[in-house]
């Protein structure tokens, strides 16, 4: 499991929905300390015995929120963690957090890249996301909706900054720079309910992907997606 911003109860419900459970789960990872990513982690780890993995910096900032847990395993950027044949490689993201990461996951020749909570697309992000089968990318906001919207000025400034969140346009630029014929699935993630509209996010991503048209799903905050396979 990567991040747990929902309550333990909600997560269990969503796991049951896709016929999965926490028993036997190999690991829970945290990308960074923002509460929409770690809120559910403490209760989850105290109820189920699942090993926890995050960076030193995230742990330093998150341990107050997470509370007492049995163990914590340190991960470092560019050092993959292995579970049988599955590898999970953290890479560094530009975000206003202590030591944030995102992940590339590989299993039996299939690969999946995650890129959420990043303010800009660095050359490193681009290189990590090349030639993957599936991409889970942030399409957080539409710039004009954000600018005209109700958020306080400082928050708007933070979101738009190079350590904030990816706009639809920035997401499109990322997709255009990593698209390839083998890309089968794109999931648009971390979409703001206030500063974005699903159609805008989808249209921008579709235009960026051009003729290579992988399946595209939009992940919603309040509804689980179906179980997807690649």
Interface residues toward Zn ion, by CB under 5 A: 34, 36, 117
> Please, which residue, 36 or 193, has the CB nearer to Zn ion?
36
By beta-carbon distance, which residue lies closest to Zn ion? 34
Q: How far is the CB of 128 from Zn ion (least distance, A)?
A: 18
Return d(Cα 90, Cα 208) in angstroms, integer.
26
Q: How far is the CB of 190 from Zn ion (least distance, A)?
A: 6
Q: How far is the CB of 5 from Zn ion (least distance, A)?
A: 7
> Please, which residue, 179 or 196, has the CB nearer to Zn ion?
196
Q: Is 67 helix (H, G, I), strand (E, B) or coil?
A: coil
Q: How far is the CB of 82 from Zn ion (least distance, A)?
A: 27
> Please, which residue, 34 or 179, has the CB nearer to Zn ion?
34
> Please, which residue, 8 or 117, has the CB nearer to Zn ion?
117
Long-range (24+ apart) CB contacts under 8 A made by 124-130 are 124/91, 124/92, 125/91, 125/93, 125/94, 125/174, 126/174, 126/177, 126/178, 128/89, 128/91, 128/104, 129/104, 129/174, 129/178, 130/178, 130/180
């Amino acid at each position: 499991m990567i991040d747990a911003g929902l309550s333990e109860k909600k997560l269990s419900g969503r796991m049951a929905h896709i016929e999965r459970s926490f028993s036997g789960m190999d690991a829970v990872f945290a990308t960074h300390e923002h509460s929409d990513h770690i809120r559910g982690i403490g209760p989850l780890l105290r109820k189920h015995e699942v090993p926890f993995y995050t960076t030193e910096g995230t742990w330093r900032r998150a341990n107050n929120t997470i509370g007492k847990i049995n163990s914590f395993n340190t991960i470092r950027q560019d050092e993959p963690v292995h579970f049988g044949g599955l590898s999970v490689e953290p890479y560094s993201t530009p975000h206003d957090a202590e030591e944030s990461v995102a992940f590339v996951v590989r299993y039996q020749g299939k690969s999946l890249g995650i890129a959420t909570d990043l303010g800009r697309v660095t050359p490193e992000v681009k290189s990590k996301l090349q030639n993957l089968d599936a991409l889970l990318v942030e399409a957080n906001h539409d710039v004009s909706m954000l600018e005209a919207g109700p958020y306080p000025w400082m928050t708007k400034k933070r979101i738009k900054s190079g350590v904030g969140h990816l706009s639809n346009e920035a997401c499109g630029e990322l997709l255009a720079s990593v698209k390839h014929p083998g890309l089968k699935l794109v999931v648009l993630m971390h979409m703001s309910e206030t500063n974005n509209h699903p159609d805008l996010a989808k249209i921008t991503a579709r235009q960026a992907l051009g003729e290579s048209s992988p399946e595209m799903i939009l992940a919603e905050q309040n509804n689980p997606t179906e179980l997807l396979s690649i």
